Amino acid sequence: MPKLSHDSHFKDLFENTSDLIYFLTIEGNIEFVNPAWGKTLGYELYEVAGKSIYDFIHFPCIKEYKLARTKAIFEKTRIELTTTFLTKNGNEVVGEGQIGYFENKDQPVYTRGVFKNVTARKAAERKIEESEKRLKTFFKSGPDAVIVINEHQQILEWNPKAEIIFGFAADEVIGKPLSETIIPDQYREAHKKGMAHFLKTGEGPVLNKTIEITAVHKKGHEFYINLSISNVKMEGEWLFIAFLSDITERKKTEEALIHKEAELLQSKLLEEKKDEFISIASHELKTPLTTIKAYAQLALSISKSNGNELIQKYLTKVDQYAGKLNVLLNELLDVSRIHSGKLRLTLAQIEMNLFLSEVLTSMQQITQDHKLIVENNESVKVKVDTLRLEQVITNIISNAAKYSPGKEKIIVNSVKKGNAIVISFRDFGIGIPKEKINKIFDRFYRVDEVSKDFSGLGIGLFISSEIIKQHGGKIWAESIEGEGSIFYFSLPIL
Ligand code: ADP
């Protein structure tokens, strides 16, 4: 291998180093640069000769660079500097190096720059700095309490949120074992064992999971927290970072919800029991009632031939009241049918006006104190369960008569409205308070004010509304207290 001269040594170094090396005239113009300089900043060497170095330095760094260069020249020394160059494409290249003064007897004064490209390192450093900053911000003002403990359970870090949640200031707890601060008595032993188990086996069932557990406040009360623990090994020792948040409010809402659900379930069960009882009781009562009615009718026919009028009168009463009782029991059975979804309709096509007239005629026979006045009776075809519809009309008219004592008339109207027939029943009775009008179709609902003066179970309108709904119609009421009420129902016209 041929021996190289000093010059060729330096030339080789100059050309092959990855550092950026350049020589500037005293004015700051480029005299020459090494290949690494051109390669790093993206220039061909001929492009840069004679140009000012400041064309290649990032604007915010120029002032500092100039100062350093001036100092180097005046003090004939080298100045350490970190500066940023700009590539031809405008990218930043961070250089860490020095500007040096350089003088040769027979040559003009130069400055020389030697810079190492540290862009990647600086970017990495900046990233670390940023994440440290973020971590610090999170530690200081994040939504969670952050507590760091070591293998000996000693508290190393306790952030401001932990101070708020647990009531202990950081300097009260740092260095203390965690179990003496926020761990409730019942968990202390398990905590110790868990830690020992982890150190021995590396297994920690609660690590890297979120669990709900209770903790103790400085004032002594226990409350629910959300807890997740991560572990890291630093300088040969395990550290445990716990993130905790107070979930008292959420727990309260959850508990209230569970309580409410339980109450709801209980009342539903109670309702079901009630319905079951009503159904069984009605069935049981119906059998003897049918027998009473049968015997009353038999006795009535015998007494008719014997001619005792008083007995006949009494027996007729027995028969009538047995009939009423039968209607009540049927209504009760309907309520449980509705509840179990077993109220079924048998539909048939009818002329509404004829049907209404028939029902009103038979109703007039038993409604002695009130005259049923038909103002309008539209002729339309509908498909209905006649028995059930008669039940609805009977119920509304009986109510109209019952709740308008001393009045003389009930006005009935049947009017076509669009695709429906709307039938209304107007009485001039006691009326219904405005705020209660929406409740009268509820099961077992009765307006308090009437309860003591008028008998009833509060189920007639409930059954009526279910029947009308099943026909695809609507039922509603309008009323003015003390002046009377109008009950309406509508049915779709065929
Ligand atoms: P009830 O057996 O109590 O009459 P309903 O279900 O038929 O049961 O009616 C429910 C409640 O609606 C009644 O208790 C009464 O307070 C009120 N109500 C029904 N119809 C009328 C009416 N025509 N005038 C005034 N109040 C009425």
Ligand 1: which of 328, 392, 440, 457 to mutate, judged by most atoms within 8 Å of the beta carbon?
Answer: 440
Residue 7: predicted pLDDT: 72
Ligand 1 centroid to Cα of residue 170, in Å, is 69
- Local confidence band at 205 (pLDDT 50, 70, 90 cut-offs): confident
Cβ of 392 below 6 Å from ligand 1: no
- Residue spans of the domains in the chain: they are 6-123, 142-246, 251-340, 348-492
Which residue, among 225, 224, 217, has the nearest Cα to 245 in the 3D structure?
225
Ligand 1 centroid to Cα of residue 50, in Å, is 107
Residue 240: predicted pLDDT: 93
Residue 106: predicted pLDDT: 62
β-pair type (420-426, 409-417)? antiparallel
Residue 61: predicted pLDDT: 95
Region 40-62: mean pLDDT is: 93
Architecture of domain 6-123: 2-Layer Sandwich (3.30)
Give the angle 55-57-59 at the CA atoms, nearest 5°: 95
Nearest CA to ligand 1 atom 4: 456
Query: With 50 as the cut, is the pLDDT of residue 4 above it?
Result: no
Q: Choose the most confident range, by mean pLDDT, from 69-78, 130-139, 468-477.
A: 468-477
- One fold for 6-123 and 251-340: no
Query: With 90 as the cut, is the pLDDT of residue 374 above it?
Result: yes
Residue 8: predicted pLDDT: 77
Count the neighbouring beta carbons within 10 Å of the beta carbon of residue 483: 11
Computed over every residue of the chain, the mean pLDDT equals 91
Q: Which CATH entry fits the domain spanning 142-246: 3.40.50.10440, 3.30.450.20, 3.40.50.280, 3.30.70.1290?
A: 3.30.450.20
Nearest CA to ligand 1 atom 12: 440
* Residue 291 in tokens: 């027998």
Contact predicate 22/37, CB 8 Å? yes
Q: Which atom of ligand 1 is nearest to the CA of 445?
A: 10
Residue 2: predicted pLDDT: 44
Cβ of 433 below 6 Å from ligand 1: no
Residue 107: predicted pLDDT: 65
- Local confidence band at 141 (pLDDT 50, 70, 90 cut-offs): confident
Per residue in 219-267, pLDDT (tens digit) is 999 999 999 999 988 888 899 999 999 999 999 999 999 999 999 999 9
Query: With 90 as the cut, is the pLDDT of residue 279 above it?
Result: no
Cβ of 30 below 6 Å from ligand 1: no
Counting residues of the chain whose pLDDT is more than 70, the rounded percentage is 98
CATH class of the domain comprising 348-492? alpha beta
Contact predicate 104/123, CB 8 Å? no
Residue 1: predicted pLDDT: 41
Per residue in 332-351, pLDDT (tens digit) is 999 888 888 888 899 999 99
Query: With 90 as the cut, is the pLDDT of residue 83 above it?
Result: yes
Ligand 1 centroid to Cα of residue 464, in Å, is 12
Query: With 80 as the cut, is the pLDDT of residue 3 above it?
Result: no
Cβ of 446 below 6 Å from ligand 1: yes
Separation of CA 320 from chain center? 59
Region 367-394: mean pLDDT is: 96
Cβ of 334 below 6 Å from ligand 1: no
Direct distance between the N- and C-terminal alpha carbons of the chain, in angstroms, rounded to an integer:
115
Ligand 1 centroid to Cα of residue 60, in Å, is 89
Region 198-211: mean pLDDT is: 88
Query: With 90 as the cut, is the pLDDT of residue 105 above it?
Result: no
Q: Choose the most confident range, by mean pLDDT, from 23-27, 270-274, 471-475.
A: 471-475
> Taking the complete model, does pTM exceed 0.85, yes or no?
no
Region 351-367: mean pLDDT is: 95
Cβ of 460 below 6 Å from ligand 1: yes
Region 74-100: mean pLDDT is: 94
Instruction: Taking the CA atoms of 146, 149, 153 and 159 in sequence, report the sign of the dihedral they define.
Output: negative
Contact predicate 184/215, CB 8 Å? yes
Residue 130: predicted pLDDT: 87
Ligand 1: which of 324, 335, 432 to mutate, judged by most atoms within 8 Å of the beta carbon?
Answer: 432
Cβ of 144 below 6 Å from ligand 1: no
Q: At a CB cut-off of 8 Å and minimum separation 6, what does 494 contact?
A: 349, 380, 381, 382, 383
- Local confidence band at 5 (pLDDT 50, 70, 90 cut-offs): low
Residue 159: predicted pLDDT: 92
Residue type, 389: L
- Local confidence band at 310 (pLDDT 50, 70, 90 cut-offs): confident
Ligand 1 centroid to Cα of residue 438, in Å, is 12
Ligand 1 centroid to Cα of residue 121, in Å, is 87
Q: Which atom of ligand 1 is nearest to the CA of 431?
A: 25
Ligand 1 centroid to Cα of residue 332, in Å, is 16
Per residue in 399-450, pLDDT (tens digit) is 999 999 999 999 999 999 999 999 999 999 999 999 999 999 998 899 987 7
Residue type, 250: R
Ligand 1 centroid to Cα of residue 244, in Å, is 59
Ligand 1 centroid to Cα of residue 145, in Å, is 61
HEC sequence for the chain: CCCCCHHHHHHHHHHHCCCEEEEEECCCEEEEECHHHHHHHCCCHHHHCCCEHHHHECHHHHHHHHHHHHHHHHCCCEEEEEEEEECCCCCEEEEEEEEEEECCCCCCCEEEEEEEECHHHHHHHHHHHHHHHHHHHHHHHCCCEEEEEECCCEEEEECHHHHHHHCCCHHHHCCCEHHHCCCCHHHHHHHHHHHHHHHHHCCCCCECCEEEEEEECCCCCEEEEEEEEEEEEECCEEEEEEEEEECHHHHHHHHHHHHHHHHHHHHHHHHHHHHHHHHHHHHHHHHHHHHHHHHHHHHHHHHHHHCCHHHHHHHHHHHHHHHHHHHHHHHHHHHHHHHCCCCCCCCEEEEHHHHHHHHHHHHHHHCCCCEEEEEEECCCEEEECHHHHHHHHHHHHHHHHHCCCCCCEEEEEEEEECCEEEEEEECCCCCCCHHHCCCCCCCCCCCHHHHCCCCCCCCHHHHHHHHHHHCCCEEEEEEECCCEEEEEEEEECC
Ligand 1 centroid to Cα of residue 442, in Å, is 11
Nearest CA to ligand 1 atom 2: 456
Cβ of 464 below 6 Å from ligand 1: no
- Please tell me the distance from the alpha carbon of residue 383 to that of residue 199, in angstroms, as a whole number: 81
Ligand 1 centroid to Cα of residue 440, in Å, is 7
- Local confidence band at 108 (pLDDT 50, 70, 90 cut-offs): low
Q: Does domain 251-340 have CATH number 1.10.287?
A: yes
